[in-house]
């Protein structure tokens, strides 16, 4: 076997996908072993459907948990409840009535502050906080009281 035949054998092994190593014995003792290095093995991608996108890995300084679905964040709920306590002095019914009046809807349609921690959506938070902040500013200026 001459050098051209060995080179042809090497290119043949290189073009094969399933064979990585070939050993050839020539004559009495000489043998040739050809190993193909496979540096990049192609993995088949797995497609998972109906999975919500996962949050990427973040450091503790930049991590901000995403609330499930469209619920208000815990900080929005706390801020709104703090405003309720400042405005109502413990009387949440008067705050609910104030929100209903400002939104021009029946008080039954207003989510009660006792339910805000579990049921308040971002839309509720946006509407309620805007109204409660405006009422709190009026109270600070002395318009009420």
Q: What does the alpha-carbon distance between residue 23 and residue 7 come to, in Å, rounded to a whole number?
A: 14
SS3 assignment, position 121? strand
pLDDT tens, position by position, 43-93: 566 655 555 555 566 667 776 766 557 899 999 999 999 999 988 887 888
- The residues with which 25 forms a beta bridge, in sequence order, are 31
The answer to whether residues 114 and 92 touch, using CB atoms and an 8 Å cutoff, is yes
| Token pair recorded at residue 29 | 């003792």
| Token pair recorded at residue 97 | 């009535």
| Token pair recorded at residue 50 | 């109906």
Query: Taking Cα atoms as reference points, which of 93, 90, 80, 64 lies closest to residue 119?
Result: 80
Query: Taking Cα atoms as reference points, which of 112, 90, 103, 111 lies closest to residue 134?
Result: 103
- pLDDT of residue 134 exceeding 80, the answer is yes
Q: What pLDDT score does 12 carry? A: 76
Q: Which of the pair, 81 or 4, is modelled with greater confidence?
A: 81
Global pTM exceeds 0.85: no
Q: Which of the pair, 144 or 130, is modelled with greater confidence?
A: 130
| Token pair recorded at residue 49 | 């459907």
For residue 66, give every residue at least 6 positions away whose Cβ sits within 8 Å of its Cβ, in sequence order, or none.
55
The answer to whether residues 73 and 67 touch, using CB atoms and an 8 Å cutoff, is yes
């Amino acid at each position: 076997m001459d050098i051209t035949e060995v080179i042809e054998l090497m290119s043949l092994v290189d073009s094969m996908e399933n064979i990585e190593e070939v050993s050839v014995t020539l004559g009495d003792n000489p043998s040739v072993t050809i190993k193909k290095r496979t540096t990049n093995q192609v993995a088949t991608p797995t497609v998972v459907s109906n999975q919500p996108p996962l949050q990427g890995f973040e450091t503790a300084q930049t991590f901000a948990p995403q609330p499930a679905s469209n619920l208000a964040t815990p900080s929005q709920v706390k801020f709104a409840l703090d405003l309720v306590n400042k405005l109502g002095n413990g009387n949440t019914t008067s705050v609910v009535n104030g929100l209903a009046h400002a939104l021009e809807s029946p008080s039954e349609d207003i989510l009660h502050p006792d339910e805000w921690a579990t049921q308040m959506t971002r839309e509720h938070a946006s509407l309620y906080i805007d109204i409660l902040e405006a009422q709190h500013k009026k109270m600070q200026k002395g318009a009420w009281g």
